[in-house]
Amino acid sequence: MSPLSHTGCRVLDAAQQDETRQAWLLGASFCGLGYGVVSTIYYMCFYLLRQSTRSNPSTRRQNSALLVYITAMYLLGTSAFAFDILATIHGVFKGTCTSPNEMPVDPYFGKTDICYALINWGADGLLAWRCWIIYSGTGVSPWIFMSFPAALLSASVGIGIPMVVYDYHSRTPTVDLILQIWGAITISINLVITSMIAIRIYLHRRRISKSLGSGHASEYTSVIAMLIESAALVVVFDFFFLVAFSLGWVYGNIAFQTWIQVQAIAPFLIIFRVAQGKAWSRKVDSDSMVIPPSLESNMIANQLDLDNDRFSITFAPGPQSKEQEGSEGESSGRTGALTDV
């Protein structure tokens, strides 16, 4: 058993033990796959943020904060992956249960819970920051919209701290109950903020489509942009983990082990869009009120066409002299008259 995990054991028959070991190994594989994605996106974000700072010094403060954030989250993700591998090895191959009919209760909980909690709070915090940015251009104080998510975040920290402290010492039914409450609060945070972001982007898309046409502002309002900006990936895995854990499924560990890395993947995808300059910013609302030059030119041209259609030039024959009446070779004098039609 890993020195970082609980030492409790439970009785399982041979088939259940094999199924449990398979679930742990499969979960470790998914965790490793997720960590590979985290590593890739981290280095991409790091490079783009550095490039953005060099090309636009005005973004230095924000980019520096994001660099610190992604580095801290990457280190937490690395630690979580190392703990996961260590727990899997000890749980599958080096179990310390005295009876061959026993297996560890769950090698993934114990002293490492603080790492998982910090990753979760970091992901929720960045999602709340993005929601604040997106609602900053409404003309109303963002606190009106963010009061409920802020209360949920406070509740998550308030429940998470005693969960980490109690689970550090022993695994009890009370700890399991607190963990389920904490998971429900986490899902509520992500579901509320994700819905707020998606609704805001959708309404903005409708407004732009009505005023400027559906082809404009698509980089902020496409379906992919809505899914990334709202961190819908976190909500999916939150539900998967909480349902599997609550029902006691043996494959609930797969959900948990994958969930650890998803908590870092979703924020990194958002920051990647920020580094590319494609993420929603406070300028989006103000820029949407400015008519693009190409569209403005078309509007002016169309207006000129309408004005020209309102007027036509007609020519009426003027009075002719006697000399002009008898001469076929001479042209007739005409007087132009401008007539409004």
Same domain, yes or no, for 158 and 305?
A: no
Asked whether residue 1 is assigned to any structural domain, the reply reads no
CB atoms within 10 A of CB 249: 13
Whether 13 maps to a domain, the answer reads yes
Q: Is 294's pLDDT higher than 70?
A: no
For residue 2, being part of any structural domain is answered with: no
The two tokens of residue 203 are 């309404």
Q: Clarify whether residues 197 and 315 are in a common domain.
A: no
Q: Which three-class secondary structure string do you get for the chain?
A: CCCCECCCEEECCHHHHHHHHHHHHHHHHHHHHHHHHHHHHHHHHHHHHHHHHHHCHHHHHHHHHHHHHHHHHHHHHHHHHHHHHHHHHHHHCCCCCCCCCEEECCCCCECCHHHHHHHHHHHHHHHHHHHHHHCCCCCCCHHHHHHHHHHHHHHHHHHHHHHHHHHHHCCCHHHHHHHHHHHHHHHHHHHHHHHHHHHHHHHHHHHHHHHCCCCCCHHHHCHHHHHHHCCHHHHHHHHHHHHHHHHCCCCHHHHHHHHHHHHHHHHHHHHHHHHHCCCCCCHHHHHCCCCCHHHHHHHHHHHHHHHHHHEEEEEEECCCCHHHHHCCCCCCCEEEEEEEC
Residues 327 and 234 grouped into a single domain = no
Are residues 135 and 37 part of one domain? yes
User: Does residue 57 sit in the same domain as residue 198?
Assistant: yes
Residues 204 and 298 in one domain: no
Percent of the chain topping pLDDT 90? 16
Statement to judge: residues 218 and 325 lie in one domain? no
More confident residue, 204 or 121: 121
The owner of tokens 């008519």 is: 291
Asked if 267 and 218 sit in the same domain, the reply is yes
- For the stretch 240-286, pLDDT in tens is 877 887 777 777 778 888 888 988 998 898 888 888 877 655 555 54
Identify the domain boundary among 290, 306, 321: 290
321 occurs within a structural domain: yes
Q: HSE-up of 214 (CA within 13 Å, CB side)?
A: 1
For 36-76, the pLDDT digits (tens) are: 999 999 999 999 999 988 888 888 888 999 999 999 999 99
298 and 234 in contact (C-beta within 8 Å)? no
Mean pLDDT of 327-333: 47
Domain CATH number, residue 126: 1.20.1070
CA distance 193 to 281: 17
Same domain, 225 and 140: yes
Is residue 64 one of the residues assigned to a domain? yes
Are residues 300 and 284 located together in one domain of the fold?
A: no
Each residue of 171-182: pLDDT tens digit?
677 777 888 888
Same domain? For 73 and 201 the reply is yes
Range of the domain at 298: 294-340
Q: What is the C-alpha separation between 68 and 118, in angstroms, rounded?
A: 15
Please, are residues 242 and 182 in contact by the beta-carbon 8 Å criterion?
A: no
Q: Which of 258, 274, 290 is the last residue of a domain?
A: 290
Q: Is residue 3 part of a domain?
A: no
Q: Provide the domain count of the chain.
A: 2
**Same domain as 100, residue 72:** yes
**197-239 pLDDT tens trace:** 888 877 877 777 676 665 555 555 455 565 666 567 777 887 8
Q: Would residue 159 count as lying in a domain?
A: yes
